[in-house]
Amino acid sequence: MPQASAASPWRLVAVPAAITLAVTLLRLVGELLNWSPMLFSRAGGGGGALVGIAWLVPVFAAWFGVRLARAGERPGPLGPAFGLIVLAIALVPLSGIAAAKAGIGQLELRMLFVFAVASLAGVVLAWRAWPALARTLLAYAVAARVPVALIMLLAMLGNWGTHYDAAPPGFPEMGAFAKWLTIGLLPQATVWFWFTIAFGGLFGLIAGAIAGRRSAVA
Instruction: Answer yes or no: is 29 within a domain.
Output: no
CB atoms within 10 A of CB 97: 10
Instruction: Answer yes or no: is 2 within a domain.
Output: no
Mean residue pLDDT of the chain comes to: 91
DSSP classification of residue 112:
H
Helix, strand, coil shares of the chain as percentages rounded to 5? 75, 0, 25
Which residues have CB under 8 Å from 110's CB, separation 6+? 99, 104
pLDDT of residue 8: 85
Instruction: Answer yes or no: is 117 within a domain.
Output: yes
Provide the whole-model pTM.
0.92
Q: Which domain holds residue 89?
A: 55-217
Confidence of residue 194 (pLDDT cuts 50, 70, 90): very high
Smallest CA-to-CA distance from 123 within 172, 186, 73, 189 is with: 189
Higher pLDDT, 174 or 217: 174
Instruction: Answer yes or no: is 21 within a domain.
Output: no
First-to-final CA distance of the chain: 17
What is the per-residue DSSP string for 1-69?
---HHHH-HHHHHHHHHHHHHHHHHHHHHHHHTT--TTTS--SGGGTT-SSSSTTHHHHHHHHHHHHHH
Instruction: Answer yes or no: is 48 within a domain.
Output: no
Instruction: Give the number of domains in the chain.
Output: 1
Instruction: Answer yes or no: is 175 within a domain.
Output: yes
Q: What is the pLDDT of residues 100-142, one digit of tens each?
A: 999 988 777 889 999 999 999 999 999 999 999 999 999 999 9
pLDDT of residue 2: 42
Instruction: Answer yes or no: is 9 within a domain.
Output: no
Instruction: Answer yes or no: is 93 within a domain.
Output: yes
CB atoms within 10 A of CB 44: 15
